[in-house]
């Protein structure tokens, strides 16, 4: 990467997401203004309408769109002028320092993988998602959906990449890395998890990674661990289980708050104290997940992202560039040896 990477704009997929293009464009303009970050809006000028582009914002035309329900691999191969594909190309070609998309997650992954390429030695890129922990830094959960079937050696690389992200994004000096299982003992879990435990406990992730052993589902939202490593099937189930649980519990609380006139009045009094919790639980706060293991910064914001989520995603992308996330990962993931171990 060129030393002047930080001068380049962040490419924002203007057509990606349930609320695109309006909310996404609004967020991109807001990011340029508030964060003083140059932004490259990538989308179809015909659909974006008349835009008065302010300073720091430029436009890259892309006439096609990958829909939220399209098959990602097929769409990315067929639609060479899709906004998400052009975002990844902008990073590859040195026109942008990073990309942000709130569209089809699989399409963002496929675009980044096919256009930016994998980092040397990385077997499988992974999606890392920050999970809110009340009163602490978020937990990095990976893989949260890129790879359904994984091998123990792949999980070792997830540990390395998750470690790198936790140091970069949350400034944790020695992130505690745990392997998701169903008991703390090394003998707990599937055969794949047990083999991964043996590799990690044997130092396969390298001396920097502080492996604390198995962790359980209840630890994900606690401050017991900083990076939770798992396969993309389990990780995606965990992520969506948390989403459903937060929705059910918060929904129940809000219903109680509106159950009577007295409750409504009382709720007004406690609401300010609940604000930090509500903000933490709001998926817009963290600016989304990051695809780790590709040769560039790719931030994937959730599908229903509003303007604020896009601002935060641009902030995350920018931070990853200035804190050299890709170089950190490159330094962690050594070439894979014949034994399947790294280092």
**Residue 138 engages a copy of itself in binding (rule: CB under 8 A):** no
Buried/exposed code over 7-33 (b: 16+ C-beta within 10 A; e: otherwise)? ebbbbbbbbbbebbbebbbbbbbbbbe
Minimum CB distance to a copy of itself smaller for 174 or for 240 = 240
CB of 261 to a copy of itself, least distance (A): 10
Minimum CB distance to a copy of itself smaller for 1 or for 250 = 250
CB of 241 to a copy of itself, least distance (A): 3
**Of residues 269-328, which lie at the interface with a copy of itself (CB under 8 A)?**
269-270, 273-274, 277, 280-281
What whole-number distance in Å separates Cα of residue 53 and Cα of residue 40?
A: 10
CB of 127 to a copy of itself, least distance (A): 12
> What are 20's two structure tokens?
């695109």
Distances (CA, A) of 13 to 137, 253, 298: 28, 36, 11
Q: Which residues contact 199 (CB under 8 A, 6 or more apart)?
A: 152, 153, 155, 156, 205, 341
**Residue 133 engages a copy of itself in binding (rule: CB under 8 A):** yes
CB of 283 to a copy of itself, least distance (A): 12
**Of residues 182-241, which lie at the interface with a copy of itself (CB under 8 A)?**
182, 189-191, 193, 216-222, 232-234, 236-241
**Of residues 250-269, which lie at the interface with a copy of itself (CB under 8 A)?**
250-253, 255-257, 259-260, 262-263, 265-269
CB of 259 to a copy of itself, least distance (A): 4
Q: Is 192 within 8 Å of 154 (Cβ atoms)? A: no
**Of residues 148-187, which lie at the interface with a copy of itself (CB under 8 A)?**
148-149, 180-182
**Residue 108 engages a copy of itself in binding (rule: CB under 8 A):** no
> What are 115's two structure tokens?
């256009």
Minimum CB distance to a copy of itself smaller for 269 or for 338 = 269
**Residue 242 engages a copy of itself in binding (rule: CB under 8 A):** yes
The angle at the Cα of 322, spanning 319 to 323, to the nearest 5 degrees, equals 80
Taking CB atoms within 8 Å and a gap of at least 24, the contacts of 173-177 are: 174/210, 175/140, 175/210, 175/226, 175/227, 176/210, 176/212, 176/224, 176/225, 176/226, 176/227, 177/205, 177/209, 177/210, 177/211, 177/212, 177/225, 177/226, 177/227, 177/229
Q: How many residues bind a copy of itself (CB under 8 A)?
A: 58
Q: Is 126 within 8 Å of 155 (Cβ atoms)? A: no
Residues belonging to the chain: 343
Paired strand residues for 210: 176
User: What track of x and - describes contact with a copy of itself for positions 49 through 88 (by CB under 8 A)?
Assistant: ----------------------------------------
Would you tell me which residues interact with a copy of itself (CB under 8 A)? 133-134, 145, 148-149, 180-182, 189-191, 193, 216-222, 232-234, 236-253, 255-257, 259-260, 262-263, 265-270, 273-274, 277, 280-281
């Amino acid at each position: 990467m060129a030393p002047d990477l930080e001068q380049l704009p962040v490419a924002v997929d203007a057509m990606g997401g349930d609320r695109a293009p309006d909310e996404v464009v609004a967020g991109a303009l807001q990011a340029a203004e508030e964060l003083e970050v140059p932004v490259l809006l990538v989308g179809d000028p015909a659909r974006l309408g008349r835009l008065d582009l302010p300073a720091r914002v430029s436009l890259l035309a892309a006439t096609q769109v990958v829909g939220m329900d399209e098959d990602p691999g097929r769409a990315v191969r067929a639609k060479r002028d899709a906004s998400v594909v052009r975002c990844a190309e902008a990073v590859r070609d040195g026109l942008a320092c990073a990309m942000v998309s709130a569209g089809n997650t699989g399409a963002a992954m496929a675009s980044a993988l096919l256009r930016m390429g994998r980092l040397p030695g990385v077997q499988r890129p992974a999606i890392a998602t920050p999970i809110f922990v009340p009163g602490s830094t978020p937990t990095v959960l990976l893989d949260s959906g890129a790879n359904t079937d994984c091998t123990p050696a792949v999980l070792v690389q997830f540990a390395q990449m998750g470690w790198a992200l936790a140091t970069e994004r949350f400034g944790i000096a020695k992130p505690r890395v745990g392997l998701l299982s169903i008991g703390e003992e090394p003998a707990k879990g599937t055969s794949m998890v047990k083999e991964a435990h043996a590799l990690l406990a044997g130092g396969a992730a390298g001396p920097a990674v502080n492996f604390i052993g198995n962790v359980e589902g209840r630890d994900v939202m606690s401050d017991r661990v900083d990076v939770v490593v798992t396969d993309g099937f389990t990780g995606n189930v965990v992520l969506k289980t948390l989403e459903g649980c937060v929705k059910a519990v918060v929904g129940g609380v809000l219903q109680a708050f509106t159950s009577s006139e007295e409750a409504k009045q009382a709720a007004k009094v406690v609401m300010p104290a609940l604000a930090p919790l509500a903000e933490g639980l709001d998926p817009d706060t963290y600016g989304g997940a990051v695809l780790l293991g590709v040769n560039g910064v790719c931030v994937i914001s959730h599908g229903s992202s509003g303007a604020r989520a896009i601002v935060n995603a641009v902030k995350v992308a920018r931070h990853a560039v200035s804190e050299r996330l890709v170089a950190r990962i490159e330094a962690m993931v050594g070439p894979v040896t014949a034994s399947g171990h790294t280092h």
